[in-house]
Amino acid sequence: MTAYIVRRLLWMIPLLVGVSIITFAMLKRIPGDPVTVMLLESRSSGRVITEADRERLRKQYGLDKPAYLQYFDWLGEVLRGNLGTSIRMKQPVTEVIKQRLPNTMKLAGVSLVITLAIALPLGILSAVRQYSWLDYVLTAFNFVGISIPQFWLALMLLYLFAVEIQLLPVRGMRSPYVEPGFWNHLVDTVTHYILPVTSVTLASLAGYMRYQRAAMLEVIRQDYIRTARAKGLPEHVVILKHAWRNALIPIITLLGYVLVILVEGSIVVEAIFSWPGMGLLAVDSLQQRDYPVVMAIVMLSAVLIMIGTLLSDILYAIVDPRVRYD
């Protein structure tokens, strides 16, 4: 097992180098650079930036060098533990990420807890009462849920509750002016969470529910469940203690990816509700060609996905003793 983990970890190095080269090359293929984007902005706000000014800035950001040298510059900095400075925000990239990461984790965390709290029981119910009207309703709901694009759902929620009914805030995490007092702040915070959390939850609910249902269906057909029932155990003990624990195995392995979800968040939902998290940062940075930030986010995701899959595999071996890695 230890040898396996070490091997997997070592494999990450060439993988990460590969990811970084591909990402860097793709970034460079996008037309324009941070200076061009600035030029467009200054043009729309009426400023003329001369050729000399542009050259000076390009030199400042190392953009005057050939692309492969820029890559090595970047790699050299990263190996020394420096993710670089955001061109747009003039702060170390680590600072920028530190400001946004907690916001994404809050949104993703709350959504995940709510999603699991709804999806798991309903998935179990659906399996236990297979082909009942409840199962049909949930299945129908799941098909709709899987089919609806998240951006559409989020925009509809926004339009309905924030624009038409004006019940909930349009955007952001909190209002700039809140009357002092614990309750006022609580209400302000909660109302800002409702729409984004609902969007994320509704979009991921169906997947978890289907997954749980399938796992449960497989388990309740096993011999040891029949044995448990034959022992005369009450049905809820059979389902929750004997069946569910086994049906959780595939769900647990999914949790490896939760790491990624928590850190990456939902680009779509964050962008629509201007949630100041990692997703919005990724979109903004890409638009502004803020290369160091984009590279940092992509590399962070790559690392997390690799660690996530590794964790899933390890968890799998732990919860299911039949699985062995040698």
Partner 1 sequence: MTYDPRVEALIREATRRRYDRRTILRRAAMLGLSAPAVAMVLAACRQEEAAPGQTPAPAQTAAPGQTPAPAASPTAAEQATGGMVNVINTLGDKQVGNPILNSADYWVEWLCFSKLVKYDDKGNIIPDLAERWEYSSDGLTLTFHLFEAKWHDDTPFTSADVLFTFETIKDEKTDTPYGSRLQVGGEWVSWEAPDDRTVVLTMKEPFAPFLYGLSQIPIIPKHLLEGSSDINTDPFNTQPVGTGPFKFVEWNPSQWIRFERYDEYHKGRPAADGYTAFFMEDTNAGAAALERGEVDMMFVPPEMQPRYESDPNFMLLNYVYFTPITLAFNHKHPILQDFNVRKAIAHAIDKKSLADTVTKGRGLLAENQYATTGPLDKYNDYDNVNYSEEYPYDPELAKKILDDAGWTPGPDGIRQKDGQRMSFPLLTYSGFDEYKNGQVILQQMLSQVGIEVVPQVLEYTTLEQMWHDPNDDPMGRAMELQEWPHPFEQDPDVYNELHSANWPPGDNYMWFKDAGVDRLIELGRTTVDPEERVKVYHELDLARLKTLPALPLYCAVDGWVVSRALGGIPEDTPSIRWYHRAFPEKIYKKQS
Q: Which residues in this chain contact partner 1 in the complex, by CB under 8 A?
A: 30-32, 36-43, 45-54, 56-57, 60-61, 85, 87-92, 99-100, 162-163, 166, 170-174, 176-177, 274, 276, 280-281, 284, 287-288
Name the residue among 43, 70, 41 with its Cα closest to residue 58. 70
Q: Which of 258, 281, 260, 286 is nearest to 271 (CA)?
A: 281
For partner 1, the closer of residues 222 and 287 by Cβ is 287
Q: Which is nearer to partner 1, 46 or 232 (CB)?
A: 46
Shortest Cβ distance from residue 176 to partner 1 (Å)?
5
- 176-210 CB burial, b ≥16 within 10 A, e <16: eeeeeeeeeeeebeeebbebbbbbbbbbbbbebbb
Cα 216 from Cα 250, distance rounded (Å): 10
Which residue number, 2 or 45, has a Cβ lying nearer to partner 1? 45
Nearer of residues 14 and 46 to partner 1, judged by Cβ: 46
Distance CA 266, CA 269 (A): 5
Burial of 270 (0-12, 13-18, 19+ CB in 10 A): buried
Nearer to partner 1, 124 or 280 (CB): 280
Q: Which amino acid is at 190?
A: V
**Shortest separation between residue 171's beta carbon and partner 1, angstroms:** 6
As measured in angstroms, the least distance from the Cβ of 112 to partner 1 is 22
CB of 7 to partner 1, least distance (A): 40
| Alpha helix (H) residue ranges in 220-273 | 223-230, 235-237, 244-264, 267-272
d(CA 82, CA 93): 9
Phi-psi region of 213 (alpha: psi -120 to 50; beta: other; left: phi over 0): alpha
* 195 contacts 161 by C-beta, under 8 angstroms: yes
| Residue whose CB is less far from partner 1, 137 or 187 | 187
Nearer to partner 1, 144 or 160 (CB): 160
Grouping H, G, I as helix, E, B as strand and the rest as coil, residue 171 is coil
CB of 270 to partner 1, least distance (A): 9
Residue 132 or 287: the one with the smaller Cβ distance to partner 1 is 287
Minimum CB separation of residue 271 from partner 1 in Å reads: 8
The whole-angstrom separation of Cα 13 and Cα 9 is: 7
Q: CB of residue 123 vs partner 1: minimum separation in angstroms?
A: 35
CB of 275 to partner 1, least distance (A): 8
Phi, psi of 85 (to 5 degrees): -115, 135
Residue that has been written with the tokens 């609580």 in this structure:
186
